[in-house]
Structure 1
Amino acid sequence: MTFANTHYLLSKELNSNEARKILIKFKLLVSVLPLDDKILGLVLSSDFNDFEDAIQYYTALENKLNIIITRNKKDFKTSKLPVLTAKEYLNR
């Protein structure tokens, strides 16, 4: 999930300042991976129906991650990486 998506979702329930405070804390817990020209090229030439899913997938591949965690497993049918829901991941 991108910070832009997360901010958007938080802002639906909270004011922008509160959303930013949460993101500042969240940033301490995660590593932010780059979206570079190569990844964007892969995304634009991919067969993914969902642009954001393609960004997440190719960012994971290019950064040698070993799993995708998502609520929408069906959007990653052709993934070369294992795809799990958060619940499946936590229950492993």
Structure 2
Amino acid sequence: MRVFLDANVLVSVLNKEYPLFPHSARILSLADQRRFQLYTTPICLAIAFYFAEKKCGTAQAKQKMQILSSKIHIASVDSQTVLGAISNPSVLDFEDGLEYYSAMQHDCNAIITEDSEGFYFSEIPVYDCRKFLEEVVF
């Protein structure tokens, strides 16, 4: 199963943000199972880096990003992604639109985010970390 991870899931893992951290860390650990392939975009990584750098400094944030990047697939954001987000009148948040169309281009079966309302237009299932663990993993 191909699963797209939104930036807020990555931020939670990198910064050990409670109470979400135990759930988001379990989501990230799915990368070690053959059954799951985790995806995110460079945009989500940039957002996650920004918040990690604020919390622990540049050097440690880069180390965390290196480990994170080795565990997940980095989905492209190209002109097709941009045009999809721009041309869909249902997409009000451009960043969410870019993430959604990138997930679609990479045949993701689900999106995991702590802002499911931002993906109200999604044609693929959208879960928060807890719901995904309860409904899909177990």
Q: Secondary structure at the match of 1:68?
A: strand
Which structure shows the bigger proportion of residues in strand conformation? 2
Pairwise CA distance, 1:40: 1.1
Q: Which of 34, 59, 70 is equivalent to 2:102? A: 59
Sequence identity, in percent? 24
Pairwise CA distance, 1:71: 0.7
Distance, in Å, in 2 between the alignment partners of 1:43 and 1:17 is: 34
Q: Which has the higher contact order (CA 8 A, sep 6+)?
A: 2
**Alignment of 1:40 onto 2:82:** yes
Q: Which of 68, 73, 83 is equivalent to 1:31? A: 73
Q: Any unmatched runs of 5+ in structure 2?
A: 1-6, 8-43
- Segments ≥4 residues shifted beyond 4 Å: none
Quote the residue 1:17 is aligned against.
59
Q: Secondary structure at the match of 1:35?
A: coil
Superposed CA deviations along residues 41-68 of structure 1, whole A, max 9, x for unmatched, are 1122233222221111000111111101
- Cα RMSD over matched residues? 1.1
Quote the residue 1:83 is aligned against.
126
